[in-house]
Amino acid sequence: MKYWLKALRLRTLPLAISAIGLGCVVAMDFDVYAFQIGLWAMITAVMLQILSNLANDYGDFLKGTDQAAGREDRALASGSIPRGQMLIALVLFAVLALGSGLKLLDFAFDRIDLRYIGFLALGFVSIAAAIQYTVGKRAYGYHALGDLAVLVFFGWIAVSGTYLLQARSWDGFALTLLPSTAFGLLSVGVLNVNNIRDIDTDLASGKRTMAGFLGKTNAESYQLLLILIAFAMAIGYMWLRTGISITFVALLPLYLLHWFIMSRLDQGNRLAYNRALKILVFMNMLWVLVFSIQVWEW
């Protein structure tokens, strides 16, 4: 059981949960929040994240990426879980993600119409994207497209999509793209730190990430740009909705301090990068909490 818990990588779930939570908070801001829709959106996001984690383990193992990096923390590379069992788990969580997604649509729509079909298609795309990040000859995570995928799925789909399911209309949707893009970019920042840590081993195994394409120094500058744009988006939303934005400005120094410390880490210091990743995930959760408090106060 402990090997499976490790393979599920439960530490990655807070970002997925926070993204859906942010979508629910935005729905509250527009007075369209629906508890059951938010709950099933969160369950579906968790299933998709676990599916992605298992697929990542499976895909990197097949391509030899984890073996080249000496990743004893991965289930297949360490030999703690047989390949056949991992494949069964992939199928299981794909089915669970589909099932929870269908339940979500049942709560969101009272009949099968174009909106239902559109979100159903988006669900199949999400399942395919969770798997194809590292699995297959065209795995997009190996072609520097992981950052874009995180922006789309953790930002636009998770946040604005959750709002749209609850609002059942396009009213206010354009404005929700500000916080969804902001959180999407902060989530890209988590992936970027992870990829900066792995630049050398990824390149050695043929895995092309945005950090590997940019190089360590430019990837660190890219990290700073992600932070600044994310905060500009969040401040813009709060200014348009409430006329104030000081709370988000107060969080910015924490992100800048994290960036400053991270940019001075020795690339070979894997433990230090892992700590930086955990802290950054916590900061992103704090970001959502501060956003929520400011919305509720308003």
Residue 199's identity, in one-letter code, is: I
Q: With CA atoms as reference, report the closest residue to 27 among 14, 39, 38.
A: 38
More confident residue, 7 or 92: 92
Q: Which residue has the tokens 């497209």?
A: 145
How deeply is 163 buried, as exposed, middle or buried, from its count of CB atoms within 10 A (0-12, 13-18, 19+)? Answer: buried
Determine the Cα–Cα distance for residues 120 and 46; give it in Å rounded to an integer. 17
Q: What is the mean pLDDT of residues 262-282?
A: 91
Mean residue pLDDT of the chain comes to 90
**Predicted local confidence at residue 19, as pLDDT:** 97
Kindly state the DSSP code that residue 145 receives in the 8-state scheme.
-
- Give the C-alpha separation, 36 to 109, whole Å: 12
How many CA atoms are closer than 13 Å to the CA of 292, on its beta-carbon side?
14
Predicted TM-score (pTM) of this structure? 0.93
Label residues 71-96 b or e (16+ Cβ within 10 Å = b).
bebbbbbbeebeeeebeebbeebbeb
Q: Is residue 10's pLDDT more than 60?
A: yes
pLDDT at 4: 81
- Residue pLDDT, tens place only, 138-164: 888 888 899 999 999 999 999 999 999
Tokens of 38: 């938010």
End-to-end CA distance of the chain, in Å?
45
Residue 246 corresponds to which amino acid?
I
